[in-house]
């Protein structure tokens, strides 16, 4: 409707004098139109409003204020007083639109804004994560690394500041990175420069990799930024070029596959009066030239990772959990009400980015996770997975922070991320010090947060975690995604090592394409094993070059066992088999629940054969 701010100001100025026009005060109306045009132009230029809200939002409010002034002028010298009906009518309409948006009248609309939620089996969809592409760097650590890079970059930090607000996690050239722009640190700095000369790339997978300061020159300098001034301020620049009738979501600084920077801005409109924001399009702005491109939701370029902002997705998830049973149930019966934890952006296989949000019940006494909601950040498609008693983020962090290794090193966990590690729903938690510097990683199975594997490196934590979840006699629940192998052979190399969790042994069996690890605390014979001994081991065939064993026996050292030891061994093996059977049965039940009616009919027909 309004292509830019001057046009919006002109329309508002004409509308503002309606009370004078209705009483034929044409001269006063003309004078007031001119004055109000310049006043509103200045106000809109500073405020940069949008017209998407009911009654045109802030511009509508400005017009209503001028209606009061116009009505007062019209009423002068015993003129008619009914001009005040217009501002009064505006107030009444404002109240009506607010009431109309209440959940009392729109509970089903709020509940379905998320779209059709499909329920599936987690292990069927979420394939085991490649450990090389897990995010090991939290937002705080990325900013800490970037700030250290600025300190070593010379004078750039005196004129420009890191814009942590618009720091963006994304995948570029098959790696997860944080991209952090610089921006102007004040008006004087803006007037004294030709543009922002750099941005920083921080590797999100390897905290030891050095950050990269990408310097820009000439036509590459960034001119259109959130902290620029006048017509170069990003929001004002968009409003002046056709985006007055669009809501502008958070600006993200993203790189395409050629590492060329862009501002990416999803646009939106409310769907239920003042609430219920829905994404309508995606706009990109070249920060150097100001070129604008606008994409429909089905035409968004592949290098853009996020179309649906987290704020929108989180609101949808909470409304879905609150109003799916109707408005009355949301406060009276309160059956099946759920709420969200803080979500995390996870990059899975195939470059797919998803918002992963933990779902818990609203009961104050219930602190367990009941499900995981995955929402595709590009398409907005939601999929729900039941977890049946998983741990919340708070419980995960508490368990990690109480781990002996973490406490001794005075570290703490941050930003749990959910991955499929060796077929288990696993929270991967980066460990940082008080300055947000990376110090290691912890891995916690969601179904038992008391089990915590930690290590100063990702590889050591992975080995510890694999040994933890497959330890004989404990929570052995092999998933279909894993493959337990047995091997008997002669050791040709062995040595003792000391890891974060105690002494371990690394050994190699003749002809095997991998190195095996085991703890002498679990397998006493390891301490006296030598090259040339014949051993029998079992291990999970994860395809890695270093794997922990799940069982170990030195056949060259046969030892007697007491009757009690044999009974303990048989009990442990029986427990392992029982837990494996229970896990398999549980997976089967979940798969049956996710079948469609047609699929259930085919299964029933097959069983009758």
Write a three-state SS string for 535-596: EEEEEECCCCCEEEEEEEEECCCCCCCCHHHHHHHHHHHHHHHHHHHHHHHHHHHHHHHCCC
Instruction: List pLDDT tens digits, range 203-236.
Output: 999 888 999 999 999 999 999 999 999 999 999 9
What are the phi and psi torsion angles at 509 (to 5°)? Answer: -105, 135
Return the pLDDT at 573.
60
CA pair distance 392, 374, nearest whole angstrom: 16
List CB contacts of 29: < 8 A, sequence separation 6 or more: 17, 20, 21, 70
Nearest Cα neighbor of 537 from 590, 597, 584, 484 is 484
Return the pLDDT at 479.
40
Nearest Cα neighbor of 471 from 380, 557, 538, 563 is 538
393-399 — which CB contacts under 8 Å span 24+ positions?
A: 393/341, 393/342, 393/358, 393/427, 394/367, 395/367, 395/368, 395/449, 396/427, 396/429, 396/444, 396/446, 396/449, 397/429, 398/449, 399/444, 399/449, 399/450, 399/452
Provide, for the chain, the percentages of residues in helix, strand and coil under a 3-state DSSP scheme, each rounded to the nearest 5: 40, 30, 35
What letter does residue 128 receive in the DSSP assignment?
A: P
What letter does residue 231 receive in the DSSP assignment?
A: G
Cα separation values, 114 from 313, 316, 317, Å:
7, 5, 7
* Percent of the chain residues past pLDDT 70, beyond the cut: 85
CA pair distance 407, 579, nearest whole angstrom: 32
Tell how far CA 158 is from the center of its chain: 32
Return the pLDDT at 459.
77
What are the phi and psi torsion angles at 495 (to 5°)? Answer: -155, 155
Tell how far CA 84 is from the center of its chain: 50
Is the pLDDT at 375 greater than 60? The verdict is yes
Q: What mean pLDDT do residues 142-154 have?
A: 86
Lookup: tokens for 355: 């918002």
Return the pLDDT at 153.
72
CA pair distance 498, 519, nearest whole angstrom: 10
Lookup: tokens for 218: 């000439």
Q: What mean pLDDT do residues 71-88 have?
A: 80
H or E stretch covering 236: helix 234-239
H or E stretch covering 263: strand 261-272
List CB contacts of 494: < 8 A, sequence separation 6 or more: 505, 506, 507, 508, 529, 530, 531
Is the pLDDT at 474 greater than 50? The verdict is no
Instruction: List pLDDT tens digits, range 94-135.
Output: 999 999 999 999 999 999 999 999 998 887 777 766 666 788
Return the pLDDT at 293.
97
CA pair distance 226, 185, nearest whole angstrom: 11
Q: What mean pLDDT do residues 16-40 have?
A: 93
What value does the CA radius of gyration of the chain take, rounded to a whole number of Å? 31
Return the pLDDT at 475.
37
Is the pLDDT at 548 greater than 90? The verdict is no
Rounded to the nearest integer, the mean pLDDT of the chain is 86
Return the pLDDT at 586.
54
CB 429 within 8 A of CB 396: yes
Return the pLDDT at 430.
94
Return the pLDDT at 596.
60
Q: What mean pLDDT do residues 487-500 have?
A: 84
Return the pLDDT at 585.
54
CB 536 within 8 A of CB 555: yes
Cα separation values, 456 from 51, 409, 428, Å:
53, 10, 13
Instruction: List pLDDT tens digits, range 225-268.
Output: 999 999 999 999 999 999 999 999 999 999 999 999 999 999 99
Is the pLDDT at 476 greater than 50? The verdict is no
* Percent of the chain residues past pLDDT 90, beyond the cut: 59
CA pair distance 253, 237, nearest whole angstrom: 16
CB 444 within 8 A of CB 399: yes
Return the pLDDT at 145.
93
Which residue ranges make up each domain of the chain?
5-100, 135-299, 310-390, 393-453, 484-554, 563-608
Predicted confidence band at 599 (pLDDT cuts at 50, 70, 90)? low
Task: Name the pairing type of β-strands 382-391 and 118-119.
Answer: parallel
Residue whose token pair is 């060259």: 556
Q: For the whole model, what pTM was predicted? A: 0.82
Return the pLDDT at 480.
39
Task: Name the pairing type of β-strands 275-285 and 515-519.
Answer: unpaired
H or E stretch covering 152: none
List CB contacts of 594: < 8 A, sequence separation 6 or more: 119, 120, 121, 124
What letter does residue 481 receive in the DSSP assignment?
A: T
Return the pLDDT at 473.
37
Return the pLDDT at 469.
66
CA pair distance 208, 92, nearest whole angstrom: 60
CB 247 within 8 A of CB 267: yes
CA pair distance 391, 448, nearest whole angstrom: 8
Lookup: tokens for 410: 């005075």
Return the pLDDT at 478.
37
Cα separation values, 179 from 233, 265, 301, Å:
20, 16, 18
Instruction: List pLDDT tens digits, range 577-598.
Output: 555 555 555 555 555 655 666 6
Please give the CATH architecture assigned to the domain spanning 484-554: Beta Barrel (2.40)
CA pair distance 356, 341, nearest whole angstrom: 10
Helix axes 310-323, 103-112, angle to 10 degrees: 120
């Amino acid at each position: 409707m309004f292509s830019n701010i001057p046009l919006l100001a002109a329309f508002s100025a004409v509308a503002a004098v309606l009370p004078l026009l209705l009483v034929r005060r044409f001269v006063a109306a003309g004078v007031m139109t001119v004055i109000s045009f310049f006043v509103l132009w200045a106000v809109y230029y500073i405020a940069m409003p949008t017209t998407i809200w009911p009654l045109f939002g802030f511009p509508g409010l400005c017009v209503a204020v001028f209606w009061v002034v116009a009505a007062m002028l019209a009423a002068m010298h015993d003129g008619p007083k009914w001009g005040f009906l217009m501002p009064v009518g505006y107030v009444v309409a404002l109240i009506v639109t607010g009431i109309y948006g209440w959940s009392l009248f729109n509970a089903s609309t709020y509940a379905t804004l998320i779209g059709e939620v499909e329920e599936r089996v987690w292990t069927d969809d979420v394939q085991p994560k490649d450990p090389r592409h897990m995010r090991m760097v939290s937002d705080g650590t990325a900013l800490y690394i970037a700030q250290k890079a600025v300190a070593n970059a010379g004078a750039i930090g005196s004129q420009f500041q890191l814009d942590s607000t618009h720091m963006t996690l994304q995948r570029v050239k098959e790696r997860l990175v944080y991209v952090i722009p610089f921006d102007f640190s004040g008006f004087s700095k803006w007037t004294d420069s030709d543009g922002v000369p750099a941005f920083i790339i921080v590797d999100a997978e390897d905290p030891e990799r050095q950050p990269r300061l990408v310097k820009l020159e000439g036509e590459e300098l960034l001119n259109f930024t959130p902290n620029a001034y006048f017509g170069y301020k990003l929001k004002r620049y968009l409003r002046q070029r056709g985006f007055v009738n669009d809501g502008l979501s958070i600006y993200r600084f993203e790189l395409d596959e050629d590492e060329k920077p862009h501002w990416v801005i999803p646009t939106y409109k409310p769907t239920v009066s003042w609430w219920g924001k829905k994404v309508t399009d995606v706009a990109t702005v070249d920060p150097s030239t100001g070129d604008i491109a606008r994409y429909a939701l089905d035409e968004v370029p592949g290098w853009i990772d996020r179309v649906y902002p987290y704020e929108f997705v989180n609101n949808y998830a909470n409304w879905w959990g609150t109003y799916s049973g109707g408005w009355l149930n949301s406060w009276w019966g309160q059956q099946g009400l759920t709420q969200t934890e803080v979500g995390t952006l996870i990059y899975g296989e195939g470059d797919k980015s998803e918002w992963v949000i933990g779902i818990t019940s609203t009961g104050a006494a219930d602190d367990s996770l009941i499900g995981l909601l995955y929402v595709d950040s590009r398409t907005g498609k939601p999929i729900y997975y039941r977890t049946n008693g998983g741990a919340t983020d708070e419980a995960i962090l508490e368990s990690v922070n109480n781990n002996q290794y973490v406490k001794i090193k005075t570290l703490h966990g941050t930003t749990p991320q959910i991955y499929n590690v060796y077929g288990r729903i696993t929270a991967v938690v980066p460990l940082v010090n008080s300055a947000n510097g990376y110090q290691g990683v912890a891995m916690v199975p969601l179904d038992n947060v008391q089990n915590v594997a930690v290590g100063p490196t990702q590889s050591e934590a992975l080995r510890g975690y694999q040994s933890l979840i497959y330890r004989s006699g404990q929570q052995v629940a092999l998933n279909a995604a894993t493959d337990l192998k047995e091997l008997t052979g002669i050791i040709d190399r062995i040595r003792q090592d000391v890891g974060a969790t105690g002494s371990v042994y690394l050994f190699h069996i003749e002809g095997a394409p991998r190195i095996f690890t085991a703890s002498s605390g679990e397998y006493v014979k390891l301490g006296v094993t030598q090259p040339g001994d014949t051993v029998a081991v079992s291990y999970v065939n994860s395809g890695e070059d270093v794997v922990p064993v799940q069982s170990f026996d030195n056949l060259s050292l046969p030892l007697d066992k007491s009757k009690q030891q044999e009974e303990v061994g048989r009990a442990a093996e029986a427990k392992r088999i029982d837990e494996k059977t229970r896990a398999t049965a549980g997976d089967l039940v979940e798969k049956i629940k996710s079948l469609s009616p047609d699929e259930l009919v085919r299964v029933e027909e097959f069983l009758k054969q």
